[in-house]
Amino acid sequence: MLGSVLTGRRDPGTPTAGEARVGESGAQPTSAAPDPASAVPDRGTLRLALVVGGLVLAVLLGFGLGRVDGTASPATAGGDSAVTDHSHTPGTGAHSHGVDQGAATEAGGLAVSRDGWTLHPSGVEFTAGRAGELRFQIRDAQRRPATRFAVVHDRPMHLIVVRRDLTGYQHLHPTMAADGTWSVPLTLPQPGVWRAYADFTAVADDGRQTATTLGVDLVVPGEYAPRPLPAAATGATVDGFTVDSTGTPQPGLTAPLTFRVTGPGGAPAALERYLGAYGHLVALREGDLGYLHVHPEPEAADGTVTFWVTTPTPGRYRLYLDFQVGGTVRTAEFTVDVP
């Protein structure tokens, strides 16, 4: 999922920490208030209780507001591929999330069907270098095409396409017809097997929302000349922009990765909002092309943007950072080695 790639994703079964605490704080003044059937507490005790309750409420409301990143979808329910929506104070290190971690550490995009939703492409064969179109539906368990999708990262559907050697990355936004058929122009420049990921949050009949990433292979006949994955590096250049990353991903944990973008003149790039944040990051695992959970921090400063990335296992990952400067979106690519 793009998301978080998953910002805005919420764990369906488990209330987020913020929600749970806000609920608790809401009960705080009530429990501190005098019970009509018992003796009225003295004024000092009551005042103290109200002050403490108010402080707890204020802190927790602040915590809750801090979580809002402007890209959140409506609350989700059901399914197991969503991850908890959360933010972190600066300097927070890699960490786990208790019960949420099992779902968060699981890579997405490995199946064509999951969480009751099935990716149904109308065709998967393309001609190398020729303009084509990808059409597909997301069908429910009764094989009915889904037509209701939540907007996450500014879009109801994100489509990532990459060849199986992790080259040729494309990030597209299909449009949906009234019957639930999504379509997007697509040109696959080189022969080989390509992976397409549909990253979406469908809304079921009962209103339940599930953040899901489904994947399907696309084929381009011809002589496939796979390229080896570039060595791990913390820097990348694209169109004269230099991108440097800092952060230490660890297996099974969620860790911050910060990217600093420098313009051709050497000054910090003026990053513009793109898909609800100051950049968009997709991370894929070498070997099975598992699609990782990523959450952007809502703010950027001095050409830097931070993402929280869950790397499920040791191994190598390819990261694709989309950033926008001067109205143009560029993609910087990195290989990350998680020992």
Residues of this chain that interact with Cu ion (CB under 5 A) are 158
Q: How far apart are the first and last CA of the chain?
A: 24
* Least CB distance to Cu ion at residue 173 (A): 5
Q: Which among 298, 317, 315 is positioned nearest to 306, based on CA atoms?
A: 298
* Least CB distance to Cu ion at residue 100 (A): 24
* Least CB distance to Cu ion at residue 197 (A): 10
* Least CB distance to Cu ion at residue 118 (A): 21
Counting Cα atoms < 13 Å in the Cβ hemisphere of 8 gives 29
Q: Which two tokens stand for residue 40?
A: 């009225």
**Identity of the residue, 158 or 318, whose beta carbon is nearer to Cu ion in the bound complex:** 158
Q: Which two tokens stand for residue 195?
A: 């992976």
* Least CB distance to Cu ion at residue 122 (A): 21
Strands (E), the chain: 113-114, 117-121, 132-139, 157-163, 170-172, 175-176, 181-186, 192-203, 209-220, 235-238, 241-246, 253-262, 280-285, 294-301, 304-311, 315-325, 328-338
**Identity of the residue, 49 or 172, whose beta carbon is nearer to Cu ion in the bound complex:** 172
Which residues, 6+ apart, have CB-to-CB distance to 61 below 8 Å?
A: 22, 25
Q: Distance (Å, rounded) from C-alpha 278 to C-alpha 298?
A: 7
Q: Which among 83, 90, 43 is positioned nearest to 66, based on CA atoms?
A: 90
* Least CB distance to Cu ion at residue 20 (A): 30
Which residues, 6+ apart, have CB-to-CB distance to 33 below 8 Å?
A: 49
Q: Which two tokens stand for residue 280?
A: 């968009």
**Identity of the residue, 253 or 284, whose beta carbon is nearer to Cu ion in the bound complex:** 284
Q: What are the beta bridge partners of residue 16? A: none
Q: Which two tokens stand for residue 178?
A: 């009234």
**Identity of the residue, 97 or 158, whose beta carbon is nearer to Cu ion in the bound complex:** 158
Q: How many CB atoms lie within 10 A of CB 35?
A: 9
Task: Provide, for the chain, the percentages of residues in helix, strand and coil under a 3-state DSSP scheme, each rounded to the nearest 5.
Answer: 15, 40, 45
* Position closest to Cu ion via CB: 158
* Least CB distance to Cu ion at residue 269 (A): 20
**Identity of the residue, 253 or 275, whose beta carbon is nearer to Cu ion in the bound complex:** 275
DSSP state of 60: H
* Least CB distance to Cu ion at residue 60 (A): 32
**Identity of the residue, 86 or 158, whose beta carbon is nearer to Cu ion in the bound complex:** 158
**Identity of the residue, 191 or 200, whose beta carbon is nearer to Cu ion in the bound complex:** 200
**Identity of the residue, 28 or 291, whose beta carbon is nearer to Cu ion in the bound complex:** 291
